[in-house]
Amino acid sequence: MDLASLVGIAGGFFLVAIIGIFATGGTPLDFLDIASVFITIGGTAMAGLTSIPLRRYLSIPRIFSKIIFSPTKKSNEVILTLVSFSEKARREGLLALEDDLDELDDDFLRKGLQLVVDGTDPELVKTILYADTDAMEGRHESGIKVFDDFGTFAPAFGMIGTLIGLILALKAGIEDREALVRNVAVALITTYYGALLANVFFIPTANKLRDRHNDEVLLREIMINGILAIQSGDNPRIVKDRLVSFLPPGVRQEIAEEVGEKK
């Protein structure tokens, strides 16, 4: 579970929408306005429903859950696994790897090694694995786009609410002070709702999903290179050096220490 994301979102709303308001002498109830909710939150929800397929719209909670509950695989653990498979393949042959495939918890890695064990042509292995990765990237990008779009819609509907409030305030005129104050409040609160939703929830969520996506693409690249190196019978040391080249220097040193070497 990614506690940082939960703390960031909950803390953002708490500090801005509660502590910040109390610190200025107001209360959260001062910022509760039903008209603003309908304009900003309702408008954002309906724009999202119009812009994306219903199936993807209904999957928004599942997409969001990926930043909280999706397990993050460590690249160094994957590299060490690939190096150990490389060592076994060099000692006992590729067919010996089949006994260990069921122990792998990553479907993509297991699929790639199974193709190697089955004697699939290296170019075909590469084509299949990259096609799988491209499909994954497409799914991720569509999910990220949902939150990017909502991050654009929310402030826009906040501004629409501002225009509605200002127009009604001007129509009411200075004589009807009650209507003037009410409409000016709508004008400002809708902007507040849109900015708050976009900057505390939608945009940060899209950024975290994008970061997770980049990590997973990098991990897939490491797996593909490791699988192809195993298939070609490369020396385990070469396999390790080839794979750690994808990682920052600090992580490379950790892997070197774990396999009992110092670079």
Please tell me the predicted confidence (pLDDT) of residue 22: 92
Which residues of the chain fall below pLDDT 50? 262-263
**Residue 204: CB atoms within 10 Å:** 18
The amino acid at residue 95 is: L
Distance separating alpha carbons of residues 5 and 116, to the nearest angstrom = 38
Angle between helices 236-244 and 249-258 (to 10 degrees): 150
Please tell me the predicted confidence (pLDDT) of residue 182: 81
Residues 6+ apart with CB under 8 A from 92: none
Residues 6+ apart with CB under 8 A from 148: 202, 203, 206
Angle at 216 between CA 133 and CA 102, to 5 degrees: 75
Please tell me the predicted confidence (pLDDT) of residue 72: 66
Per-residue pLDDT tens digits for 57-101: 999 999 998 888 876 677 888 998 999 999 999 999 999 999 889
Distance separating alpha carbons of residues 43 and 173, to the nearest angstrom = 27
Please tell me the predicted confidence (pLDDT) of residue 83: 92
Please tell me the predicted confidence (pLDDT) of residue 263: 43
Distance separating alpha carbons of residues 40 and 158, to the nearest angstrom = 5
List the chain domain ranges.
33-263
Mean pLDDT computed over every residue of the chain: 89
Please tell me the predicted confidence (pLDDT) of residue 4: 87
Please tell me the predicted confidence (pLDDT) of residue 257: 66
Please tell me the predicted confidence (pLDDT) of residue 262: 42
